[in-house]
Amino acid sequence: MTRSPGAETDPAVPDRDEFLADLLAGLSAPPYALSPKYLYDRRGSELFDRICEQEAYYPTRTELGIFAKRGPEMAERVGPGALVVELGSGSSNKTRALLDHLEDPAAYVPVEISGDHLQAAAERIQAAYPDLRVLPVCADYTRDFRLPRPPRTPGHTLLYFPGSTIGNFDPDDARAFLARLAALAGPGGGLLIGVDLAKDTGVLERAYDDPEGVTAAFNRNLLTRMQNELGAELDPAGFIHRAEFNGELGCVEMHLVSLRQQVIRVGGREFPFAAGQSLRTERSYKYTLAGFETLARKAGWTVTTVWTDDRQWFSVQYLEAGGA
């Protein structure tokens, strides 16, 4: 990417070798699965932005409504002079919902795995807030990365994790991830996080399989990545997108389902797929308020404030580092 003032790159950003190793591991034995982070190359990030605009995809619209109504309360809870670190900033379309209300933030640090997407979003935020120091970091936020040092010493660190991305982690991984964030925020640090809530199965499945087919394109883009970046031999037309709620686990799952018996060849190996067999590409867990509070506490956070919409479909929660 073209580096901007204060930008950093991080060696943890997945490269071809890591992508290949993770794919080979994910295909080593059924049920096949791969981390959802590989859905987000440049094209994937653009498609996800379009997903957020679909009528069926309630999380973005609902969360922005909470910010519009409760933004001043959130800013008061955060306090002045914070170093704002947004994890997985994407196009930063939710950044303004927070920055518009905050009092004199020390700096804004967007963290995003897609370098091109990060650069464009950082430039837009800088143009919108010319007095704000913007320090983009290209990194995989699920792994260790360095925070840049702003010119002005912040009062505390605020980690900003909007959306429902915490749901993409299996429960044990979610606890470990939140514990890492508690260490990153440090004493007195905070976490403003979006948490999608349990609700009607039909609403959930429609959100992950919109009638316009944008989510299907987003999921199938992974097959194109496998071809272009890893030289995989496969037939994209031989797979379809499927989203279903797993009631036993309490999550929505996305799959790429084989329409027929076929073989994917990649990395010098062959992986057979029977008709109906799938590669799981995402899980999105849905929490009750009590369930997430228990998870946060085990990871070293205390939930201090919760804001929801009127239907209680979605929540924005403020956590303080220092739970037990």
Give the model confidence (pLDDT) of 133-189 as tens digits: 999 999 989 889 989 999 999 999 999 999 899 999 999 999 999 999 999 999 889
pLDDT of residue 273 exceeding 90, the answer is: yes
Q: What is the pLDDT of residue 323?
A: 53
Q: Which residue, 293, 298, 282, is CA-closest to 315?
A: 293
Q: Which residue has the tokens 């991080």?
A: 10
**Share above pLDDT 90 across residues of the chain, in percent, rounded to a whole number:** 82
Structure confidence at residue 207 as a pLDDT band (50, 70, 90): very high
Assess contact for 34 and 222: CB atoms under 8 A.
yes
Q: Please, what sign has the CA dihedral across residues 265, 271, 272, 277?
A: negative
pLDDT of residue 324 exceeding 70, the answer is: no
Token pair in block for residue 324: 């037990």
Q: What is the mean pLDDT of residues 201-229?
A: 97
pLDDT of residue 274 exceeding 80, the answer is: yes
Q: How many Å apart are CA 171 and CA 187, to the nearest integer?
A: 24
CATH 3.40.50.150 spans which residues of the chain?
58-199+287-321
Look at 29-38, 91-100, 204-213 and tell me which has the smallest mean pLDDT.
91-100
pLDDT of residue 267 exceeding 50, the answer is: yes
Whether the pTM exceeds 0.85: the reply is yes
* CATH class of segment(s) 58-199+287-321: alpha beta
Q: How many Å apart are CA 167 and CA 154, to the nearest integer?
A: 30
Neighbouring C-beta atoms of residue 64, cutoff 10 Å: 18
Q: What is the pLDDT of residue 14?
A: 54
Structure confidence at residue 3 as a pLDDT band (50, 70, 90): very low
Assess contact for 115 and 41: CB atoms under 8 A.
no
CA dihedral 164, 213, 119, 113 (to 10 degrees): 50
Q: What is the mean pLDDT of residues 295-302?
A: 97
